[in-house]
Amino acid sequence: MTGRRFSRVVLGAFAVALAAVAAPSFAAAEPKPFGHACKAENGVRFCPTGTLEQRVPTFDGIPLDADVTLPATGEGPFPVIVMMHGWGGSKADFESSSPSGNGNTTFDYNNVYYAQQGFAVLNYSARGWGRSCGTAASREGTPGCEKGWVHLADQRYEAHDTQYLLGKLADEKIVYPGKIGVTGISYGGGQSIELAYLRNRVRLTNGEFVPWTSPKGKNMTITAAYPRWPWSDLVDSLTPNGRFLDTGIAGPTQSREPLGVEIQSYVSGLFALGQASGFIAPPGQDPEADLSKWFAATNAGEPASPEDKEIAEKIYNYHQGYGLSGTPAPLLIQNGWTDDLFPPEQALRVYNQVLSLKGKVALQFGDLGHSRGSNKENTDHAFQEQGAAFFKARLQRIGTAPANGGVTAYTQTCPQKSAPGGGPFSATRWPKLHPHTITFSSAAGQIFTSAGGNATIAADFDPIAGTSDACKTVKAEEEANTANYTMTSPGFTLLGLPTVTATITDLGPFGEIAARLWDVTPGGEQRLISRSVWRVGESEENTTSTITFQLHGNGYEFPKGDTVKLQLLGRDAPYYRASNGAFTIEATNVTVSLPTS
């Protein structure tokens, strides 16, 4: 063997040996989101926070319990979806062992489903809940948890937490910084709207805005948001005043002038749940998260004090998306006709504004959501499939997103458990969903007072202690001390928000007008179809005024021959807080307009 040939052989052998030694260093490294190991299960890779020590410190040091689920293969980066839990919940709310979830509200709406579709999924417990300082055990001996209490979906805290976690994942090259979807139910839905409006901005604890960048400086932005059962204006949700109309764009003071009527049973129930299962700041400890003080002030009722107005201003400015400047990221918003906490107005407020800004938004309405929503299986399945298509189109550029401005609705059907939701009904714009109107009216005066009608009926339809069944019926009666307006149904489908116009003459302070729309059967049973409340403002006290307001609405088929009844009364407790004042109201020239398909 010549020297040159020997050299070639030796060098070749050395190269082969070197390649064999070096090969493992070129192998794809297994992703470790937040430094957490992943395990293959259920057709995905699940990368959980296993111990309290593995929690992820957020921007201000609060340790967050965060899990990441990845597709079965691939190094990343991946498009990402954040799934945010409801009030009283935790990261586990949308974690499942199969894509079908619970077969209903989490069917094709969970970490496994989305990861199998090619997304990274972030599920974490919000500060003050679960192991993110929510339980006593999670706070014990943990620096940062001493102030890890709930901030009530504050843009400066909870929204910033989500942004910070996403930034860390982007720096780890687990997710794309510009392919981000956010979604959640209720508490998580409200935060989804906040994040959509913040879009590429972070709100600091001092209230200022700065560009959203990852810890290592990557530019970040929300690409799409799918809020389910959300609020857009938390002041209007918890203390409605009746001023919102679906025909216009809500101004910046609409929900606070005047301050409205507390939905007392819901607010009390939510506060009690927070105290029982979350970490609520001790009274007086944190003026930016003093839920105990805010609850006490709201629950005290009238007259509205300067402190009450200050609290409402703070909630409006920091604890909701509506009111933030700019055009939000594309939105698909879902609210329930029969949801007595966050009804359709919450979606329509955003919808009208976004379209006026030339942004992108579509709507889903059905008999769903919080009590008394039915959450029918066929409605949930259809809407969650549309939600998945929305994320695929916006984040993966696969398929087509719901048409901009489009509305899809399913109707309430009875019995609650066995009848599938009716529909779907669809339209290219909200007004086109209900192109027709049925109207009835009465010029005659009718009087009602702050004493209210039959207290038993009011209690029967309280969504907390009374019923969660939107199909519930009680014996119809002419309740004393109420105003009633009726028509015989020709057979029609209500599909929108009923509008009431009336001339009212008020005598006495702190008036409120509760409105109920009933379906009264020929057999003498009545079912509650829609409701709302109007706060009599200071300028309307002890004088005559003309008012226009809308009920929460519904999609509901009134059978031919049934009686459609609008009822006005001065008290609907315990759902609406009873006024501290004694008042009498005479209503004349009352007109009821029902939007129909």
Q: Which of 432, 458, 489 is the last residue of a domain?
A: 432
Q: What total number of domains does the chain contain?
A: 3
CB burial of residue 77 (10 Å; 0-12, 13-18, 19+): middle
Enter the pTM of the model.
0.95
Q: Do residues 283 and 297 both lie within one domain?
A: yes
Read off φ and ψ for residue 569, nearest 5 degrees: -150, 165
> 504: closest CA among 528, 479, 535?
535
581 close to 537: Cβ distance less than 8 angstroms:
no
Q: Do residues 549 and 470 both lie within one domain?
A: yes
- 434-475 tens-digit pLDDT: 999 999 999 999 999 999 999 999 999 999 999 999 999 999
506 close to 583: Cβ distance less than 8 angstroms:
yes
Give me the domain span that covers residue 556: 436-596
Q: Do residues 360 and 226 both lie within one domain?
A: yes
- Token pair, residue 583, equals 């008042």
- In a domain? residue 301: yes
Distance between first and last Cα of the chain? 94
Q: Do residues 427 and 456 both lie within one domain?
A: no
Q: Do residues 558 and 580 both lie within one domain?
A: yes
CB-CB neighbours of 37 under 10 Å: 14
Question: pLDDT value at position 383?
Answer: 98
Q: What stretches of 349-406 adopt beta strand conformation (E)? A: 361-366
Q: Which of 432, 466, 488 is the last residue of a domain?
A: 432
Q: Do residues 379 and 512 both lie within one domain?
A: no
Q: Do residues 394 and 452 both lie within one domain?
A: no
Q: Do residues 358 and 447 both lie within one domain?
A: no
SS3 233: coil
Distance CA 332, CA 361 (A): 6
Region of residue 374 (phi > 0: left; psi between -120 and 50: alpha; otherwise: beta): alpha
Distance CA 467, CA 473 (A): 10
> 407: closest CA among 382, 388, 385, 424?
424
- In a domain? residue 169: yes
Q: Is the dihedral of CA 199, 204, 207, 210 positive or negative?
A: negative
Q: Do residues 244 and 370 both lie within one domain?
A: yes
CB-CB neighbours of 69 under 10 Å: 29
- In a domain? residue 16: no
Q: Which of 432, 448, 479 is the last residue of a domain?
A: 432
Paired sense of beta strands 331-336 and 224-228, if any: parallel
Question: pLDDT value at position 27?
Answer: 54
**CATH assignment of the domain containing 118:** 3.40.50.1820
Distance CA 216, CA 559 (A): 62
**CATH assignment of the domain containing 468:** 2.60.120.260
Distance CA 60, CA 288 (A): 15
Distance CA 36, CA 201 (A): 28
- In a domain? residue 379: yes
Dmax over CA atoms of the chain, in Å, equals 119
Distance CA 458, CA 213 (A): 51
Q: Do residues 502 and 360 both lie within one domain?
A: no
Distance CA 531, CA 500 (A): 11
Q: Which residues pair with 210 in a beta bridge?
A: 202
DSSP secondary structure code for residue 263 in this structure: B
- Token pair, residue 542, equals 């002890």
Distance CA 195, CA 363 (A): 18
- Token pair, residue 225, equals 């948001």
342 close to 239: Cβ distance less than 8 angstroms:
no
505 close to 586: Cβ distance less than 8 angstroms:
yes
Distance CA 579, CA 510 (A): 6
Question: pLDDT value at position 8?
Answer: 41
What's the CA dihedral at 8, 11, 15, 18 to 10 degrees?
160
- In a domain? residue 307: yes
Q: Do residues 385 and 494 both lie within one domain?
A: no
- In a domain? residue 522: yes
pLDDT < 50 stretches in the chain: 1-26
Question: At a CB cut-off of 8 Å and minimum separation 6, what does 517 contact?
Answer: 498, 528, 529, 530, 531, 551, 554, 564, 565, 566, 567
Q: Do residues 369 and 463 both lie within one domain?
A: no
- In a domain? residue 7: no
- In a domain? residue 257: no
Cα-based distances in Å from 550 to 382, 522, 565:
28, 27, 15
CB-CB neighbours of 474 under 10 Å: 16
